[in-house]
Amino acid sequence: MSEVAQPTNPGRQASHSNPSTRARSVFWVMFSISLLNYLDRYVFNGGVNVIAKELHFDLSQTGLLSSAFLVVYTIFALPVGYWADKVKRKNVVAWCIALWSVATALTAFATNFTTLFLARMLLGIGEAGYFPAGTALLSDYYSRSKRSRVMSTWGTAQLFGILIGMGAGGAVAGLYIGSWRLAFIFTGIPGLILAYLAWRMHEPRRNQADEEELALEAQRVEVLPEIQQTSQSAVPVEVGSTQEGQTGWTRILRLAMKDVLVCSRTLLRIKTLSVLIAMQIFAFFVLGVNTTFLSIYLQQKDTFGFTSGLAGIYSGGIIVLAGIVGTLVGGYASDMLNRRHAGARVLVCGIGFLLSVPAYAVALLANNLVLFTIFFILTAFLLTIYTGPSTAATQDVVPSRLRSSAIALSLLIAHMLGDAFAPTLVGVMATSFDPTGGEHFRLGMAGHDLATSLLYTCLPALFIAGLIGVSGARWMAEDIREAQRVDAQELTEQANSVVGMAQ
């Protein structure tokens, strides 16, 4: 039986469904979920300086906690993303929200580094499947012509989540000993409500928005055949059923793993997708270490000596104010340029990363708070330009039936090779620059140690990300045409199959 909703008259629906009231309502539910996703993730970053002191761990272990989340998040992204391409994506989103909300609440009960480490790992499992499934879901509500703007607007929810998470985490952690636990309890509860709303959302037909837009452009009057959506890559097998004389979970898992490998090879042959993944590897490295250590950097006495609450609010405020502008500018600029240059979405990302190199260097070398603020705002603006265009480009160049898998594969490779171990690396480097072997952090004097490790790692990473984006934009037009050809071919095959069954 089909796992997705079936249209009765796509041509008629196109006139009001994109954007429709239903699409807008789904968008705002997804916006709220994304906000909570990043709030739950970054409430830890806001209070980590206080948590580290109370639970007695150093900078290298702080980086290891971030890596624990990212490694698990990365490992589970691909299988959960593959799952989302086979079932109702809204259900995958709902289950993931419920799991990460429980993990956030459990963090409040951590008593040492080990239990905190385990709680962060569980959080990574919950958050792994939401983004691939959610991205594919929205892509079937909004067509290619406006997808970058929609993804950019959706991306601003992440920034609001970072602001509230870091601000609340830092402020609550600074109240009294152990107060940081309250932040995790109260931020975990709303997720269960959003999980229910996600479960109640409407599941669109795969590639619905693009098909409806093409129908409008061609001014069709005929009704497209009603097609029962089935899995395109593998035939679903019920647990315990028999196929070729083999039964049970072993065969199901073996077939699924084989299907995942075939799917991954197919996706990696798409040049633009490979370019986006390579670019994101270096971009994620920079973003990962800065969100982990920015609040700690600001609280060191040899930098600016902020309190925990002020550091969280300041960090989140800069990221949100500059990030919202950067995210929206990136989305709208790439959509406008895309009318003249098919590779504009990738090109805009590369230009943003290249321009961020000098701005980031000046920010870290500045000893003056005003100068640091100006150039860090500029850096955050330039770094977030890529958010909407890269997500939209990923959806543009792959066949519609593989959209969740494409996001999941991108996350797997980019996180694993980019930021999964980046916080640990930078934490270890910062500790090695400390001649006292960690005493600087204990005394709140590790600012220059952190700045040095960030300069040595992040500047080259940004430069390489920029070069990849600028040089790799030339393949996008060809890849979009191929994705459209595959979608059209599969739609025709499904229609012929339905006609054949009717006869």
- Residue 223 placed within a domain: no
Neighbours of 492 (CB within 10 A): 10
The CA-atom distances, in angstroms, between 272 and each of 393, 395, 414, 483 are: 8, 11, 14, 12
Which of 189, 205, 221 represents a domain boundary (last residue)? 205
Q: How far apart are CA 374 and CA 362, in angstroms?
A: 10
> What's the pLDDT at 262?
73
- Residue 317: its pLDDT value, please? 83
Question: What's residue 255's pLDDT?
Answer: 56
Distance CA 324, CA 116 (A): 31
Scanning 18-57, the segments in alpha helix (DSSP H) are: 21-55
Ranges in the chain, pLDDT < 70: 1-19, 209-210, 213-260, 495, 497-503
CATH number for 418 = 1.20.1250.20
Q: Which of 178, 450, 180 is nearest to 309 (CA)?
A: 180
Task: Say yes or no: 270 and 416 in one domain.
Answer: yes
> In which residue are the tokens 């968008």 written?
27
How would DSSP label each residue in 433-488? T-TTSSHHHHTT--HHHHHHHHHHHHHHHHHHHHHHHHHSGGGHHHHHHHHHHHHH
Q: Are residues 190 and 286 in the same domain?
A: no
How many domains is the chain built from?
2
Q: List, in order, residues 6 or more apart from 341 with CB less than 8 Å away.
A: 347, 473
78 part of a folded domain: yes
CA–CA gap between residue 208 and residue 201 (Å, rounded): 16
Place of tokens 């409806």: 212
Query: d(Cα 176, Cα 188) in Å, to the nearest integer?
Result: 21
Residues written for the chain: 503
Which of 324, 287, 338 has its CA nearest to residue 154?
Answer: 324
pTM: 0.69
Domain containing 197: what range?
21-205
pLDDT of residue 253: 53
- The residue from 179, 205, 231 where one domain ends is 205
pLDDT at 203: 85
C-alpha to C-alpha distance for 54 and 77, rounded to whole angstroms? 32
Residue 244 falls inside a structural domain = no
One domain, residues 177 and 317: no
pLDDT at residue number 248: 53
